Chain A
Amino acid sequence: MKIQVQQTDLARALGAVANVVSSKTTLPILSTILFEADKDSLTLSATDLDVSVVTRLSEVQVEKKGKAAVPAAKFVPFVRTLPSDPVKIQLSGEHVSVRSGKARMEEPCMAPEDFPALPKVEDAEAFEMPGPVIVEMIRNSIYAISRDETRPALQGVLWELTPKRFTMVATDGHRLARVHREVKTGVKETRKLIASSAGLQQVMRLAEAVDTVKIYLGEHQLSFEMGDTTVHTRLVEGVFPNYEQVIPKGNERRVVCDRETLAGRIRRVKISADRVTNQVRFGLDGTQLTLAASGTEGSRAEDELEVEYGGEPILIGFNHNYVEDVLKHMRGENLVIALDRPDSAAIFVPGEDAKSDVLASEDLCLLMPLRLND
């Protein structure tokens, strides 16, 4: 293998794949990036066996075709520091060398045959959507996934596709985020699958600046085609709980408040919160929302804000980390909180109309309260 490529192009391509390179040494081949020089292109691949990223560079002069599995740890940072000039890469024996001007580096390679076979884009149902939209959908749902390793299904994000609607749902059993957008999915009948969060993280990272992402809904994997780069990720097996059933229909106590103001008050009051429960109590009376926290060592904090509220007084406790997560992932200046009882789920949606149909909102979050013993 002997090629020449612009440093900027190479650094960008390496940046796309290097993120999935494993630093764990259980399988040394996974710490490499596979270089494949063909007639007039260079393909870089990396995988951690669950998620694979493949990117293709066409602006490249190939003097001699070939393959090499290059350890990423030193190669990538070295290329990043090079000036934006042409870079020459050559494989000689079991070493790969990089050259730019007088700068030169040599690294021992591994056998390219040992590199795991990469998944191909399956011949499957596929649809396209704008990069920023899918990034937003992922971002506004993935924060609610479970960290419980005994429940892999909850560690992923549920996808529900109907011909005209694309829904993502994540939950850890204490809270639930549901995001949907009107998208022509091209599916003939409703499809449900669970996407791995690791794969979605890569898509979030790579799709932001991409106009169109093409998504292939394979039997066992999802593939995301984003220009020259493709991400493959395996589907998560398991059963996702019936989330629709737990979204309450009757929460008629509606609060409308300013998102930033609420976030600021919580940031202040939580300083005194109990470190185990992280509880902040929301007390609603008239148009006052009182936030209060108390820690086990006698620390107490309180603050208030003006809100729109017309219901009966209510006192309800939440884990402030959960509330902050919700506020971080809501669009718009205001949000509507729909409550029922101190021990039943609260609904958070963006918007300023207390009477709106919160259940139809594109972004919705359910939060189970922390109930105090009476």
Chain B
Amino acid sequence: MVCDLMSFIWTVSRMNLARTQRRPIRLLDPECVERIAAGEVVERPASVVKELVENSLDAGATRILVRLKRSGLEELVVEDDGAGIPGRELPLAVERHATSKIAGSGDLMAIYSYGFRGEALAAIASVSRMTVRSRSANEDIGARIDIAGGRIEKREPDGRHRGTTIVVRDLFFNTPARKAFLRSEQSERRAVAQVITSMALAHPAVAFTLRNDDSVVIDLSAADDLETRAHAVFGAAVATHLRRFEGETEGLRVEGLVSLPTYTRGNRTGQHFLVNRRVIHDKGMSGAVYAAFRDVLPAGRFALALVFLEVGPARVDVNVHPTKAEVRFRDEGMVHELIRHSIRDALTLGRERGEVAPAPPRRGASSSEGQGEPHVTEADLLSGPTEGYDRGPAWSRRKESPTLFDDGQVAEGGTFRPQGAPVDPGMDPGMAIPTAAAGLPLFWQLHNTFILTQIRGALVIVDQHNSHERILYNEGQKALAGQAVASQQLLFPATLELNAAELATYEVHQGDLEKMAFRTEPFGGNTVLVRGIPPELRNWNDGALLRDILADLGDAGRSGSDPREAILASYACHGAIRAGEKLTLPEMQSLMDRLFATEVPYSCPHGRPTLIRLGLSELERRFGRR
């Protein structure tokens, strides 16, 4: 937008030049400079809101109210209960480069507050009709000034309580070019909501309200912690899919929330990045989130992510973008790795498994149970991952289990949505060891496709193919990373006749295949001899499997994707147990154990879920017990 405006102005002035006689070069009058500069900071109502709310936060507000008329195009009010501006300083506040936040250029190297350039108010004032009402804590009476297009028109005492109210009307009334670039009311309103959401997540302790015309768009009361705020922002159903992450390395600290692969969106609107509590857009940071979910989510799906990065002010330059929406890190690679690792860790189960006792069998699965007994909630199951946080997530302490899926999903009788089918995040602790009460079988295979088993407080339905795919993928990953794997030698070595393309692919990847226990050797001409294969490979099919892998690898080579990734995905997909294959009890046991030994057991490498958890409370609800 900034560029658009500049080029627009440029074009217009060139046209003028062409039409008229050449004019002498002269300095622009200050008013004009002000307006052009304002365009860099103030592009649309959302950026006005962002600047004003940041000021409120800098002023220590605990309650911020934003009111819009026609999405802010007509009027935009930001009201806070912050420190306020003393009456005599008010006129100065709207002067360009007037600020209380830094004293000199030395401070620029260590910026802790939001505002610092002293241009926000001045810039906004220069392109609108603005009223500022404020009263500071140690004043008996407040003050009010009215400004239009940057000129102070009126100044008078005001009866306001402590805090500041800024009213911005007729935005861009004096810069028609800028006004022409505004989008629809709806889109402007969405942008404001997104800004407030990000800020609200960064400041759980501050209450935020956003009203547009007569409707309340956002209403968030002050919260104790991020989880409570996230719960309020995203809703109960989503909150159960969120998991906390944190990480630290020299001078960098990251924390936040991500959704498990069980909840995704088709775009990145659910991702918020804040550096030192400042909302920013950073490709590097969103790239790091993407990398953390790389082999877990299907293409085009994005997890929710709230990423709070704290960087010593000296390690980041926030003064690279007029609206401070971009930052520059001294060590971008380190930031990327820290975020990726921390999120990956949170998605990983192994970390806390050792500390969490296996779920004891629930006594007497009789129909009367549950009444009067303490109810097992996801919070109980979640206790592992959230341990160590003094601020326990309030949302996870709810007594009620969330509804995990809609009616249609269950009615289909065991089939599930291909993407984002909700799975409860809290199943891990008890998962690996299903209850073995009274010698009953632990697993039951449904239509030779799904495995049913029970864990504490729930029924778990596992897709045997997706799960095995996840297992093979991860085991293959370890093998490629150099972990020794055994190769089952074949009594009848298979000879594969390859075409020229397959042979070329084979020659490139023979080493990686070898690492994954495919022992092969060229056998003259286009023939390859296979002497050994990964143990317990079910679909070896006399070499057809290896040919499939080579074909997929060839495709991957053409599309330029990572060949190792392609080997893994292809091997996992072709080698996994198919739907319809009968499994014995020990096989099912081993499948479950191995699934929960993988880093991210919730989905197959293509992002399809591996399991669905059906809580007892959900079943009880459906049978009308509650």
Contact = CB atoms under 8 A, between A and B. Distances in A.
A358 B535 CA distance: 28
Identify the interface centre among B492, B514, B594: most chain A CB within 10 Å of its CB: B492
A240 to B, nearest CB: 11
B491 A343 contact: no
B535 A368 contact: no
Interface stretch (A104-112, A160-168, A172-180, A187-195): A172-180
A91 interface: no
B488 A370 contact: yes
A373 B488 contact: no
A220 B491 CA distance: 29
Contacts, number: 79
Interface string A135-176: 000000000000010110000000000000000000101111
A369 interface: yes
Nearest to B593: A275
A371 B489 contact: yes
A343 B489 contact: yes
Interface stretch (B225-233, B247-255, B259-267, B479-487): B479-487
Contacts of B490: 173-174, 368
A316 B227 CA distance: 55
Interface string A309-321: 0000000010100
B475 interface: yes
A47 interface: no
A344 B485 CA distance: 17
Interface residues of B, number: 26
B278 interface: no
Contact of B519 (A175, A317, A371): A371
B484 A373 contact: yes
Nearest to A176: B491
Contacts of A296: 597
Contact of B594 (A241, A275, A373): A275
B541 A275 contact: no
Given A277-B536, A296-B597, A171 B491 contact: yes
B486 A343 contact: no
A372 B484 CA distance: 7
Contacts of A176: 491
A248 B520 CA distance: 20
B515 interface: yes
Identify the interface centre among A176, A241, A246, A277: most chain B CB within 10 Å of its CB: A277
Interface string A183-227: 000000000000000000000000000000000000000000000
Interface residues of A, number: 31
Interface string B503-542: 0000000000011010100000000000110011010111
Identify the interface centre among B486, B519, B532: most chain A CB within 10 Å of its CB: B486
A121 B403 CA distance: 64
Contacts of A370: 486-489, 535
Contacts of A292: none
A360 interface: no
B7 interface: no
A256 to B, nearest CB: 24
Contact of A275 (B491, B492, B519, B590): B590
B319 to A, nearest CB: 51
Nearest to A374: B484
Contact of B531 (A151, A343, A372): A343
A174 B538 CA distance: 12
Contacts of A297: 597
Contact of B492 (A173, A276, A371): A173
A319 B515 contact: no
28 contacts: A150-B541, A150-B542, A173-B490, A173-B492, A174-B488, A241-B492, A246-B492, A275-B594, A276-B535, A276-B536, A276-B594, A277-B486, A277-B536, A278-B535, A278-B536, A296-B597, A297-B597, A343-B489, A343-B531, A343-B532, A368-B490, A368-B491, A370-B486, A370-B487, A371-B489, A371-B519, A373-B486, A374-B484
Given A279-B486, A371-B532, 17 more contacts: A148-B540, A171-B492, A173-B491, A173-B492, A174-B488, A174-B490, A241-B492, A275-B590, A276-B594, A277-B486, A277-B488, A279-B535, A343-B531, A345-B489, A372-B485, A372-B486, A373-B515
Which are the 5 A-B pairs with shortest beta-carbon distances? A368-B489, A370-B486, A277-B486, A277-B535, A373-B484
